[in-house]
Amino acid sequence: MKKLLFGLIAVVVLGLTDGYSQTSKESWNRMMENYKKSVENILLKECPKNLSLDKFRTSLILGENKLSFNATSEITLLILPLKEYGKELAIKHSLDYSDESSLVFYSSFSPDIEIVKGEILADPLGEYRLTWAEVGNCGIAALGADALYSLAFSGASSWSMAALTKTFTGVAKRFLGPIGVAIAVVTFGLCLAEGYAD
């Protein structure tokens, strides 16, 4: 009963009643901001007093701390709209969506980000690509500098979705499964969206 009640609250809070087919950038921003606030509230309850929220998030991704069963359950419910949007994006761009972590990761890409032939482009004409520094900085913001050592970003001039998805989700889910990806993805997504807007 408690899980059902929380699920219904999540539907109202996250605006799932609007649906996410043909998601607009405004809907995506609203989804990500609501998700970010909800997850931060959960993590704040779990965070040891001697750690900042950012350090706690990174320590979870690195497996140095663990979430309670209740926190994990709450985040699992909160990622439902992210997975729905991730599937929408995957279908639109012919990406593999058989893995739950990949679906959550795909939600980090706003609807206005162009993906052409499996590469992430900054505009529909493909004239501007994200730089390694922009993607790397977003990776640091999402996963922390320690976790970034596990990423294979160095030297890349463009980003294939398959390589980026495999690398990012591999680090983020190492200790927490899809929940690790769910914790990191909103920071990564909002950072990328800022980079595309520039």
What the block records as the tokens of 121 is: 């482009």
Q: Is 88's pLDDT higher than 60? A: yes
pLDDT at 5: 47
Amino acid at 161: M
Q: Are 47 and 53 in contact (CB under 8 A)?
A: yes
What the block records as the tokens of 195 is: 């980079």
pLDDT at 129: 57
Of the listed ranges 90-104, 127-141, 167-181, the least confidently predicted one is: 127-141
Across-strand partners of 160? 119
Amino acid at 80: L
Q: Is 85's pLDDT higher than 90? A: yes
Q: Is 23's pLDDT higher than 50? A: yes
Q: Are 38 and 14 in contact (CB under 8 A)?
A: yes
Collapsed DSSP state (helix, strand, coil) of residue 116: strand
pLDDT in tens, 158-194: 556 777 787 778 777 776 777 888 888 888 888 888 8
pLDDT at 109: 87
Q: Are 107 and 189 in contact (CB under 8 A)?
A: yes
Q: Which residues contact 87 (CB under 8 A, 6 or more apart)?
A: 97, 103, 106
Per-residue confidence at 155, pLDDT binned at 50, 70, 90? very low
120 secondary structure, DSSP code: E
Q: What is the average per-residue pLDDT within 97-125?
A: 78
Percent of the chain scoring above 70 in pLDDT: 71
DSSP 75-87: HHHHTHHHHHHHH
What the block records as the tokens of 175 is: 């200790």
Q: Is 107's pLDDT higher than 50? A: yes
pLDDT in tens, 27-65: 999 999 999 999 999 999 999 999 999 889 888 877 888
pLDDT at 82: 93
Annotated domain spans of the chain? 2-15+23-197
Q: Which of 130, 126, 134, 139 is nearest to 159 (CA)?
A: 130
C-alpha dihedral sign at 109, 113, 115, 120: negative
Say which residue, 174 or 82, is predicted with more confidence: 82
Of the listed ranges 70-74, 100-104, 119-123, 167-171, the least confidently predicted one is: 119-123
